[in-house]
Structure 1
Amino acid sequence: MSAASSQARPQLRRALGLHSAVALGVGGTIGGGIFVLVGHSAAQAGPAALLAFALAFLASLLIALPYAELACRYPEAGGGYAFVRKVLGPGWGFLMGWIFWGAYLMVSGYVTLGFGGYLQVLTGWPAQWSAMGLVALCALINLANVRLSGLVQVLVMSLAVAGLLAFSLLGMPAVDLARFTPAMPHGLAGLFSAAVLAFLAFGGFDMVAAAGEEIERPERNLPLAILLTLAVVLFVYLMVVFVALGTLGWQALGASDAPLAAAAQQFRGPAGGRALAGVAVLTTAATANAVLVVASRISFAMARDGLLPAVLARIHPATGIPRTAVLTSAAILLLVAGFDSLPLTTAIGGFLYVAHFVPPLIVLMKLRRAGGPAPAFQMPWPKLLLPLALGGSLLLLMSSGWLGLAGGLGWMALGWVLRRSAA
């Protein structure tokens, strides 16, 4: 055996079949977002929110395929941040991590405020205070190193899927097609603005791509798993949006802080509204906890790599938790919840979430030009799909509206200033 082979990089065992990969993707994609974003998408696009979700599906698919190839080329922990930093250098790595961190911090706003809106249906408590209380509770859970077990997470997400399917099936007979006119009250600008929000609801599809090294026959199963994941999620979302629009109407749906509970109450009475609100409360709470975990680990990883202050990389000796990173992210999450503005958090969060996929696309373009050994999976038709993915991402960014553009670019500018001052 040669020295090179004896020191070969360890390979993960390929143990995930097609069904397991699809289950991973669907479970990671359907979360608390849809319970909130359906209302804001309706406010932006009217009945054309259905088309906005279809456009978000296409954008997700175009981005997921190159992301899957990158995951097979660089299967190490850290995902997009890791391979952007490795290929383009620490400057681009900082930008990628900073955008990603900002996206999760802002996304937390619509998740926690959505939790507050649905909890208000059950208790009457003010949504803003409930949102801030949830952030504090999630911070305590993380600091105490109490983790939601995999079984609990699976049960919560299974409850979410079951609740959404029940909502769709029970509400279908009550749909009034007259509520779908006018189809596009705010024109193309409203449609594409809603597509940015709908794209957030597909967040999580990259879990399948990131697991590419563990999927059997990746050249076949990886693209199939991505396509099937997004198709299943799209089917569920289209049913939910169709029923919500057809039973409540786009104006009332867009004005509600608990849109699906309001729609359920329309065709199942107060008990139906409360049942749906209960499902939404559990799902958004679990999603908020996951958001804090991810946000704190992004800042921890960047600090460990010397891209953020070293204090964020400190690990508590007793718990093994990056306490400063958790507290910092939780403090920012509290501020975001305190603004009590879903339009603000969805616009800026949508811009940053889309933007964080742009550097990986640039990475793959560079790697494709450089050649080298082929990974286990290569995206089909790269000369067509890579420009489409980049162009689609830029179109979504431009559709974020002045609030998303100003807030997103402002966050990037703040990162640039901090980076320059630390240099």
Structure 2
Amino acid sequence: MSMSRTEHAQVELKRALGLKGAIALGVGGTIGGGIFVLVGHTTALAGPAALLAFGLAFLASLVIALPYAELACRYPQAGGGYVFVREVLGHKWGFLMGWVFWGAYLFVSGYVTQGFGGYLHMLTGTPPIWGGVGLVLGCVLINIRGVELSGKLQVLVIGLALAGLLGFAVAGAPAVDAAKFSPWMPTGLQGLLAAALIAFLAFGGFDMIAVAGEEIEHPEKNLPLAIFLTLAIVLGVYLLVAYAAVGTLDWRLLGASSAPLSDAAKVFLGPLGGRLVAVIAVLTTAATANAVLVVTSRICFAMARDGLLPYYLARVNPETATPRSAVLVCGGILIAIQLMDSHFSTSIGGFLYVLHFIPPMIVLLKLRQRGGESPLLS
């Protein structure tokens, strides 16, 4: 027996995700596998000034994060940007925003699951495809048990990953050679700005926190705090890791490497360094995959609750307060996308991800025209 629209509008998720869980969701979704390649890409463009590029990218991210945090406080519901647009611009624009937002994370997931499979293969010899499938299935099993369990495991996994990345920085610190930071900006201002544009990708993912807004405790306080702390933590990790990498391996070699952190780790840890970096990569990509499943299933749930997707996707398990149908469907899609070419799927996902920030900015302008104080200042 199907539910009516009125019944669907009354379906709500349980607020069971604390501040730690929200930050873990944001950091896990933001760092992902990007740190293992972006340090090399930015160094290739800007040399040692890659550290400054990450700082500039952080400031640019704040320009987007501030209005996003305000909107998250105004509309602490499942769906994040989709909800902002639907509430202010109407269902037609909400429908388009929902598909863009949902599609962005679904397509980007291929890069994450394939990356996990590749790193796991390096460590255990497991076929990459099966490693990625196993990761998605594991995330599905955890998430259908409830967001509280998912949040606790996310905190644990991302905590271990951050400990590993900080361990990389600490282990590399004694081997840092100040001479490797000279010349500081070998490619000039143009190289720095190009690197900052690439570094901006390092901070993408903080919006995941807003998507789970309906399940975060005390959203008026925890939502903006989690968004800003996520960006601050990510900046700190990137700067420490980049400092250790640039200071131990010539910037030209680092920029030309396909596995920059592994090559840097081998300088101060020997052959074991490459395997340790692979372990950290497995943890970070696992945390990102879990975050992606949470986000995509909540966008799916929110659209179904509004009648924009089949109603059964808005059903919530009464025992776990989890949108089980949405989790299962999104898990299946993540497995299917893993079979696609990662460059193709990531290109689509990246384009949609950049595009999805535009409608919320329009929403904020509309709200400013109507007047009213920002909830961040109240």
Task: Output the TM-score relative to the length of structure 2.
Answer: 0.76
In the TM superposition, what whole-angstrom CA distance separates every residue of 1:168-204 from its partner, at most 9, and x where no partner exists? Answer: 1111233355477674499478425513422326565
1:38 aligned onto 2:35: yes
Unpaired runs of 5+ residues, structure 2, are 1-16
Deviation (angstroms), 1:158? 1.8
Equivalent position SS for 2:33:
helix
In the TM superposition, what whole-angstrom CA distance separates every residue of 1:40-90 from its partner, at most 9, and x where no partner exists? Answer: 324543135434422331122111211222233333444332232111100
Q: Distance in 2 between matches of 1:205 and 1:250?
A: 35
Q: Give 1:304's aligned residue.
A: 305
Deviation (angstroms), 1:313? 3.6
Q: Give 1:366's aligned residue.
A: 366
In the TM superposition, what whole-angstrom CA distance separates every residue of 1:260-280 from its partner, at most 9, and x where no partner exists? Answer: 344323321233333332233
1:40 partner amino acid: V
Q: Give 1:355's aligned residue.
A: 355
1:377 partner amino acid: L
- Per the alignment, do residues 167 and 71 of structure 1 end up closer, same or farther by CA in structure 2, a change over 3 Å counting? same
Deviation (angstroms), 1:236? 1.9
CA contact (8 A) 1:56 1:202 kept: no
Q: Distance in 2 between matches of 1:35 and 1:175?
A: 25
Q: Give 2:172's aligned residue.
A: 171
Q: Distance in 2 between matches of 1:82 and 1:360?
A: 9
- Per the alignment, do residues 211 and 240 of structure 1 end up closer, same or farther by CA in structure 2, a change over 3 Å counting? farther
- Per the alignment, do residues 32 and 111 of structure 1 end up closer, same or farther by CA in structure 2, a change over 3 Å counting? farther
Equivalent position SS for 2:155:
helix
1:41 partner amino acid: L
Q: Give 1:59's aligned residue.
A: 60
Structure 1 residues 7-406: aligned runs within 5 Å: 26-31=23-28, 34=31, 36-42=33-39, 44-45=41-42, 46=44, 47=47, 49-142=50-143, 148-176=149-177, 177-178=179-180, 183-184=186-187, 187=191, 190-191=194-195, 193-200=197-204, 214=218, 229-248=230-249, 259-313=260-314, 322=323, 324-341=325-342, 343-372=343-372, 374-378=373-377
2:349 partner amino acid: G
Equivalent position SS for 2:309:
coil
Q: Distance in 2 between matches of 1:143 and 1:114?
A: 24
Unpaired runs of 5+ residues, structure 1, are 1-15, 380-423
The more displaced of 193-202 and 249-258 is: 249-258
Deviation (angstroms), 1:33? 5.1
Q: Which has the higher contact order (CA 8 A, sep 6+)?
A: 2
Equivalent position SS for 1:31:
helix
Q: Distance in 2 between matches of 1:101 and 1:251?
A: 38
CA contact (8 A) 1:112 1:131 kept: yes
1:194 partner amino acid: I
- Per the alignment, do residues 25 and 318 of structure 1 end up closer, same or farther by CA in structure 2, a change over 3 Å counting? closer
Deviation (angstroms), 1:208? 11
CA contact (8 A) 1:103 1:353 kept: yes
2:204 partner amino acid: L
Deviation (angstroms), 1:109? 2.1
Q: Give 1:384's aligned residue.
A: none
Q: Distance in 1 between matches of 2:225 and 2:298?
A: 30
CA contact (8 A) 1:165 1:236 kept: yes
Q: Give 2:11's aligned residue.
A: none
Q: Distance in 2 between matches of 1:212 and 1:138?
A: 19
Task: Output the TM-score relative to the length of structure 1.
Answer: 0.69
Query: How many pairs are equivalent?
Result: 355
Give the alignment's Cα RMSD to 1 decimal: 4.0
Q: Distance in 2 between matches of 1:137 and 1:305?
A: 29
- Per the alignment, do residues 257 and 337 of structure 1 end up closer, same or farther by CA in structure 2, a change over 3 Å counting? farther
In the TM superposition, what whole-angstrom CA distance separates every residue of 1:280-323 from its partner, at most 9, and x where no partner exists? Answer: 32332233123113212211221221222445445679987655
Deviation (angstroms), 1:129? 4.0
Q: Distance in 2 between matches of 1:251 and 1:201?
A: 29
Equivalent position SS for 1:36:
coil
Deviation (angstroms), 1:336? 2.8
CA contact (8 A) 1:64 1:205 kept: no
Q: Distance in 2 between matches of 1:347 and 1:249?
A: 30
1:27 partner amino acid: A
- Per the alignment, do residues 56 and 210 of structure 1 end up closer, same or farther by CA in structure 2, a change over 3 Å counting? farther
Percent identical among aligned pairs is: 58
2:35 partner amino acid: V
In the TM superposition, what whole-angstrom CA distance separates every residue of 1:356-384 from its partner, at most 9, and x where no partner exists? Answer: 22212111111111124x344249xxxxx
